[in-house]
Amino acid sequence: MSDFGFPLPHVVSIPPYPPGRPIDAVAREFGLDPAAVVKLASNENPLGCSPKAAEALRVAVAETHLYPDFDCHALRHAIAAHVGVAADHVLPGAGSSEIILLAARAWLDAARAAVIPQYAFQSYEGAIRSVGAEPIVVPVRDWKPDLDAMLAAATDKRVHLVYLATPNNPTGTIIPRDELERFAEALPAHVLLVLDEAYREFLPDDEQVDIARLFARRRNLLVMRTFSKVYGLAALRVGYGIGDPELLALLRRLQLPFSVSAPAQAAAVAALGDTAFVDTARRENETERTRMAAAFDAMGIETIASAGNFVLARTGDGAANARALMQKGVIVRPVANYGLPDWLRVSVGLPHENDLFFEKLREVRSEMPKAAVA
């Protein structure tokens, strides 16, 4: 017994989520000027958000004394028009993180299990463990989810849920559309497939998942998307799920009232209407991601081909490299918590931010012991 009584063992077993360090916290710790610190740790949009979203936020401030629309009527209809589904097929949430947790709470318990691929977003395992269920982690093949092995794992009668992402965080790998469709069709009918498309917008149009084809093959499917990445609304915590109305109604029973704030709803609606901003963000990301991959290659550093707004690079001791870079004013993400202790995940920043990162990385590699450098 602890000072707090008897906490549930499965809750105690959940590893804490390690967020990217905030700029102000790093500046305080190392005595740096916050204005000179560059954050490339959390896959945020370095361009900020759409001017239309910023204006919608400014207007929404006038009504912060009122509770938001729990039904998210305007946002649901805007998303539905954008996706090409009926509004009752959309469930907004407090980022896709809320949808991840709602799915676990609705489908899992201590007698059940869920399948996830190796190197999957840590929140999947956290959500599974939070309800006492067992995460079954399936090793990847060539850094990509091994769909055949995941299908085999899903034959376990305890399995009621599968989490899968394309592109995947932190590796940046994608699942070809035809392979994903075959997987969705072959998965046992009682298993809920939760497909995470947080980084969808960074893909070329012809590589994005055709969800109409997926839903034609599988009713027991929940697709998640977010406004935190390409739309630049990470601070507002707004995302959504797409699925059968009956499935979404089950999740809605577990959702906290008013989980999507009024400012978030207003900004998200406006962001959907600014396609020019999204196109610019996609174009800038592809240009800089390609340049970063070439710079890593020139330094002899292994990377994994990424389709997201980040690059996973094998630099050596990730924790030591990340700390040394922070001392020089550059924040990146070590990924030992994913079983990748020799790697860093580096978000794609603005050109001058990426230049600064490589300048400081070269300094760090020249200063660190050889054992800490890949």
Phi and psi angles of residue 135, each rounded to the nearest 5 degrees, phi first: -85, 125
Give me the mean pLDDT over the 152-164 stretch: 97
Q: Are residues 218 and 186 in the same domain?
A: yes
Vertex 260, ends 212 and 119: CA angle to 5°? 60
3-state class (DSSP) for residue 142: coil
Contact 346, 171 (CB under 8 A): no
Q: What is the pLDDT of residues 60-115, one digit of tens each?
A: 999 999 999 999 999 999 999 999 999 999 999 999 999 999 999 999 999 999 99
Give me the mean pLDDT over the 190-211 stretch: 95
Q: Are residues 69 and 217 in the same domain?
A: yes
What is the pLDDT confidence band of residue 20, given thresholds at 50, 70 and 90? confident
In a domain, 4, yes or no: no
Q: Domain ends where: 248, 272, 296?
A: 272
Q: What pLDDT sits at residue 363?
A: 96
Judged against a pLDDT cut of 90, whether residue 10 lies above it is answered with: no
Q: Domain ends where: 239, 272, 305?
A: 272
Q: What pLDDT sits at residue 11?
A: 82
Q: What pLDDT sits at residue 1?
A: 46
Judged against a pLDDT cut of 70, whether residue 2 lies above it is answered with: no
Q: Are residues 61 and 110 in the same domain?
A: yes
**Number of structural domains the chain divides into:** 2
Q: What pLDDT sits at residue 7?
A: 80
Distance CA 273, CA 55 (A): 13
In a domain, 345, yes or no: yes
Q: Domain ends where: 252, 272, 292?
A: 272
Judged against a pLDDT cut of 70, whether residue 374 lies above it is answered with: no
Q: Are residues 145 and 246 in the same domain?
A: yes
In a domain, 26, yes or no: yes
**Which CATH number do you get for residue 21?**
3.90.1150.10
Distance CA 326, CA 319 (A): 11
Q: Are residues 187 and 144 in the same domain?
A: yes
**Which CATH number do you get for residue 106?**
3.40.640.10
The pTM of the full predicted model, rounded to 2 decimals, is 0.93
In a domain, 2, yes or no: no
Q: Are residues 103 and 43 in the same domain?
A: no
Q: Are residues 64 and 141 in the same domain?
A: yes
Judged against a pLDDT cut of 70, whether residue 314 lies above it is answered with: yes
Q: Which of 3-7, 67-71, 306-310, 323-327 has the lowest mean pLDDT?
A: 3-7
User: Structural domain of residue 94, as residue ranges?
Assistant: 51-272
Q: Are residues 13 and 56 in the same domain?
A: no
Q: What is the pLDDT of residues 118-137, one digit of tens each?
A: 999 999 999 999 999 999 99
Q: Are residues 153 and 266 in the same domain?
A: yes
In a domain, 1, yes or no: no
In a domain, 13, yes or no: yes
Q: Are residues 266 and 361 in the same domain?
A: no
In a domain, 167, yes or no: yes
Average confidence score pLDDT of the chain: 95
Q: What pLDDT sits at residue 12?
A: 82
Q: Are residues 61 and 185 in the same domain?
A: yes
Q: Are residues 120 and 248 in the same domain?
A: yes
Q: What pLDDT sits at residue 371?
A: 57
In a domain, 3, yes or no: no
Distance CA 149, CA 263 (A): 43
Vertex 70, ends 65 and 71: CA angle to 5°? 140
As a whole-number percent, the residues of the chain with pLDDT over 90 amount to 92
Q: What pLDDT sits at residue 15?
A: 80
Q: What pLDDT sits at residue 368?
A: 80
Answer with the residue of higher pLDDT: 292 or 11.
292
Q: Which residues contact 180 (CB under 8 A, 6 or more apart)?
A: 147, 164, 166, 195, 209, 214
